[in-house]
């Protein structure tokens, strides 16, 4: 009887170990940021990082939060900044959306990597609703 109990323990323990190993590998993959890749010289974007330009971008970001267009703009981690959008943001026309999201990109990034991206999330459910990367597809909204 003790051999049967002993066997069940190791079956359960090995299952838990496999689960923990899969989770550890998944966390490790997610934790490793994409490498910074310089854009081709002919497509490089020159972003004005002067104090005046940065303060204007910061004022635009603060006004979006104050007006309720955006819940938050999280600083970049690993080349990805996150912008959480509220319902009124979706009512803006395409050029107005682009202007605001481009300001966030230019505030946080300098254009020196093709992997720098602004991820757009919905405030209601937290799902990703789009992204912005000027080197790849530009502004892409999923809904």
Window from 5-9, 62-66, 111-115, 129-133 with minimum mean pLDDT: 5-9
Window from 11-15, 20-24, 106-110, 116-120 with minimum mean pLDDT: 11-15
Question: Quick one: pLDDT at residue 30?
Answer: 73
Question: pLDDT (tens digit, 9 = 90+) per residue, 23-80?
Answer: 988 877 777 777 777 888 888 888 999 999 999 999 999 999 999 999 999 999 888 9
Question: Quick one: pLDDT at residue 48?
Answer: 92
Question: Quick one: pLDDT at residue 63?
Answer: 96
Residue 10, in any domain of the structure = no
Question: Quick one: pLDDT at residue 142?
Answer: 87
Total domains in the fold of the chain: 1
Residue 97, in any domain of the structure = yes
The pTM of this model reads: 0.76
**C-alpha closest to that of 60 among 107, 14, 19:** 107
Residue 112, in any domain of the structure = yes
The torsion angle over the Cα atoms of residues 62, 64, 67 and 70, rounded to 10 degrees, is: -110
Question: Quick one: pLDDT at residue 2?
Answer: 57
CA distance 46 to 44: 7
Residue 7, in any domain of the structure = no
Range of the domain at 112: 41-141
Residue 34, in any domain of the structure = no
């Amino acid at each position: 009887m003790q051999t049967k109990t002993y066997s069940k323990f190791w079956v359960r323990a090995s299952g838990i170990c496999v689960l923990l190993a899969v989770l550890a590998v998944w966390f490790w993959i997610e934790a490793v940021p994409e490498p910074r890749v310089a854009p081709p010289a002919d497509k490089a974007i020159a972003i004005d990082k002067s104090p005046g330009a940065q303060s204007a971008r910061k004022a635009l970001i603060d006004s979006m939060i104050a007006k309720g267009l955006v819940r938050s703009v999280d600083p970049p981690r690993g080349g990805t900044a996150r912008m959480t959008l509220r319902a009124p943001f979706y009512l803006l026309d395409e050029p107005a959306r682009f202007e605001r999201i481009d300001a966030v990109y230019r505030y946080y990034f300098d254009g020196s990597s093709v992997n720098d991206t602004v991820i757009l999330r919905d405030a209601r459910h937290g799902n990703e609703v789009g992204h912005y990367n000027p080197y790849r597809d530009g502004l892409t909204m999923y809904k």
